[in-house]
C-alpha cells in the first residue's frame, strides 16, 4: 500500500468532481490506497473536509498557507457570522484570525494542521504576519495533539527559531527544496519527516534517508518523470516510489513498506 500524504484533489480550481473521482480510481489501481487532502485556507480546508467525508480512505487537514495570512481573513470573519473588523496592523489581524479558525476547526477535527509555515520567496510578503499566523497554527496543533504539514520556502532560519518554542510538535516538512546543510539540521535537530515528491525526480535536491521520508504528489503540481508537463495526480506516487527505490538502491517493496509505515505513524492512520 502507498499513501499520498499531500495533495489538493479536493480543489475545484484544478479538479472537477468527475476528474477527482477518476483520479481516485486511478490511484487505487496504482496501489495508492490512502490520500490526504491539504487545506491552504479556511474555505479550502472546509472543502477538503467535505471531499474527505464522501470518500473512504481520504483524509483532510486544516491550515492557512502563509501566502494567505492576510487576504483570507476578512472571509473567515464573514463565514463565522461576525462583522469584518478594521485592523490597524497585521499583528492584530492574524491574531484574530487564529481565534476564529480555532473555533471552526474544533467542530470537526482534521487529521493534521497544514499546510502552514513561512514563505519568503515572493516580494511583498509580511514576515511578521506570517510568523504570527504560523505560531497560532502551531498552537492549534498542540491544543489538539495533531501533527503539522509544514510549508517552508526560503525561510528556514525563522522556521527553526519559531519551532524552538514548539518542541513537542511532530510533523513533516512538505516538498523540501533547500540545501544539504538545512536538510542536515532537520534530520539532526528535529524528528520531522521530509516530503519527497515529483520535484525530486528532475532536480538535484538532497535526498533524505528512507526512514525519514513521506511520499507526496502535491497534485496537481510537480508531476514526476515520466509525467512532466502533465497535471499531477495521486496515482503518480507509484512513479515517485520507483524513482526513490532506484535512487537509494533499495527494493521497491522496501520503499513502500517504510514510507507507508512512516505515514501511518505520523498521522495515526
In sequence order, the β-bridge partners of residue 129 are none
Mean pLDDT is lowest, of 112-116, 140-144, 181-185, for 140-144
Residues contacting residue 163 through CB under 8 Å, at least 6 positions apart: 138, 169, 190
Between 153 and 86, name the one with better pLDDT: 153
pLDDT for residue 90: 54
List, for residues 154-182, the tens digit of each pLDDT value. 999 999 999 999 999 999 999 999 999 99
Give pTM, 2 decimals: 0.90
**Band of pLDDT at residue 94, cut at 50, 70 and 90:** low
List, for residues 70-89, the tens digit of each pLDDT value. 655 656 666 666 665 555 55
Between 96 and 32, name the one with better pLDDT: 32
pLDDT for residue 16: 97
In sequence order, the β-bridge partners of residue 119 are 153
pLDDT for residue 124: 78
Hey, what domains does the chain have and what are their CATH numbers? 2-267 (3.20.20.140)
Angle between helix 127-144 and helix 90-106 axes, rounded to 10 deg: 20
pLDDT for residue 104: 61
List, for residues 240-267, the tens digit of each pLDDT value. 999 999 999 999 999 999 999 999 999 9
List, for residues 42-78, the tens digit of each pLDDT value. 889 989 999 999 999 999 999 999 988 765 565 666 6
Amino acid at each position: 500500500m502507498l499513501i499520498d500524504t499531500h495533495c489538493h484533489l479536493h480543489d475545484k480550481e484544478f479538479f472537477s468532481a468527475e476528474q477527482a473521482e477518476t483520479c481516485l480510481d486511478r490511484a487505487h489501481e496504482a496501489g495508492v490506497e490512502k490520500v490526504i487532502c491539504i487545506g491552504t485556507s479556511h474555505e479550502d480546508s472546509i472543502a477538503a473536509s467535505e471531499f474527505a467525508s464522501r470518500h473512504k480512505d481520504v483524509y483532510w487537514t486544516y491550515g492557512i498557507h502563509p501566502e494567505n495570512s492576510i487576504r483570507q481573513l476578512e472571509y473567515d470573519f464573514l463565514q463565522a457570522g461576525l462583522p469584518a473588523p478594521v485592523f490597524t496592523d497585521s499583528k492584530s489581524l492574524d491574531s484574530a484570525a487564529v481565534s476564529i479558525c480555532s473555533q471552526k476547526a474544533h467542530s470537526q477535527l482534521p487529521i493534521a494542521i497544514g499546510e502552514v509555515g513561512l514563505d519568503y520567496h515572493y516580494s511583498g510578503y509580511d514576515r511578521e504576519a506570517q510568523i504570527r499566523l504560523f505560531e497560532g497554527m502551531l498552537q492549534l496543533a498542540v491544543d489538539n495533539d495533531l501533527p503539522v504539514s509544514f510549508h517552508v520556502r526560503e525561510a528556514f532560519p525563522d522556521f527553526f527559531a519559531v519551532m524552538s518554542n514548539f518542541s513537542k510538535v511532530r510533523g513533516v516538512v512538505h516538498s523540501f527544496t533547500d540545501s544539504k546543510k538545512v536538510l542536515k539540521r532537520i534530520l539532526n535537530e528535529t524528528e520531522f519527516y521530509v516530503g519527497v515528491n515529483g520535484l525530486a525526480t528532475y532536480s538535484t535536491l538532497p535526498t533524505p534517508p528512507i526512514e525519514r521520508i513521506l511520499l507526496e504528489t502535491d497534485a496537481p503540481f510537480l508531476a514526476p518523470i515520466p509525467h512532466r508537463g502533465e497535471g499531477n495526480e495521486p496515482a503518480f506516487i507509484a512513479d515517485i516510489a520507483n524513482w526513490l527505490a532506484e535512487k537509494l538502491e533499495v527494493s521497491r517493496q522496501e520503499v513502500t513498506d517504510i514510507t507507508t509505515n512512516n505515514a501511518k505513524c505520523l498521522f495515526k492512520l
